[in-house]
Chains A and B, each alone.
Chain A
C-alpha cells in the first residue's frame, strides 16, 4: 500500500527557532505534495504545497524543500512563533487524486 511516512510525531521548538518536519514517500507517480495545518478544535487547512518540478517553495516563514531523487520533502518554519503551535500533516497525491496522508506532527513552540 502506498504510504507517506512523516516524522517526528511531536516536536518542541523554542520561539524564534527553526521547526523542521520531514516526510518520505514511495510512489514516484505522486504529482502534488501539500502541507496542512490544524489548530486545536479546527479542521486541517492547506498551508503550502509543491509540485515535483521544483525543489523549493517559500511562502513567508514557511518553506517546502523537495528532494525528488530521495523521495523526501520537508516543511521548514523559520522564526517559529507560539501561534505556529499546531498539528501539521504532509500528504501526496497519486494519479487517482485521493490524497495519501502522513500521520501528523504535533508542533509546540515554547515562548
Chain B
C-alpha cells in the first residue's frame, strides 16, 4: 500500500529534550516536506526537500532541523523543544514539479512540549 508513515504518533516531552520524528514514504517520491497544523493557522510548511541531500526552509523553520540522506526518509529534529512547538505535525510527499500535483500526507504526530 502506498503510504507515508510517521513515528511516533503521540509524544509528550519536556522543554529542551531533543527529539526526532521520523517520516518514511514508499512511493519513490523525490519531494518531501514537513508541516505543522495549529488551530486557526492551517498548515504551515516547516522544511521541504526536493531530493536527497537537498533541503530548504519553509515558512516556519525556526527551532527545527531536517536531513535527507535517503530518498524514502525525512526525519524532523527538534534540538531543544519549547512549549510553542506544541502542535500537530504532518509529513508529506509528492512527485516533483508539475507532475507532482497531489501531496500525500502521513497520519500526523501530536507533540506536546511541557
A residues within 8 Å of B by Cβ? 6, 9, 32, 34, 36, 41-46, 49, 89, 93, 97-99, 101-104
Contact: B103 with A89, CB < 8 Å? Answer: no
Contact: A89 with B108, CB < 8 Å? Answer: no
Enumerate 17 A-B pairs (CB-CB under 8 Å) in ascending A order: A32-B101, A43-B4, A44-B90, A44-B103, A44-B105, A45-B105, A46-B102, A89-B43, A93-B101, A97-B98, A97-B100, A98-B58, A101-B42, A101-B43, A101-B44, A103-B42, A104-B43
Give the contacting residue for A42; candidates B40, B45, B103, B108; CB below 8 A: B108
A57 to B42, CA, bound (A): 24
B106 at the interface (CB under 8 A from A): yes
CB-based A-B contact count at 8 angstroms: 47
Interface centre among B92, B96, B105 (most CB of A within 10 A): B105
A99 to B58, CA, bound (A): 11
Contacts of B92 in A (CB 8 A): 43
B residues within 8 Å of A by Cβ? 4, 40-45, 48, 58, 90, 92, 96-98, 100-108
Contact: A43 with B101, CB < 8 Å? Answer: no
Contacts of A101 in B (CB 8 A): 42-44
A41 to B107, CA, bound (A): 7
- A98-B48, A98-B58 known; A46 and B42 CB under 8 Å? no
Question: A103 — nearest CB in chain B belongs to which residue?
Answer: B42
Contacts of A36 in B (CB 8 A): 103
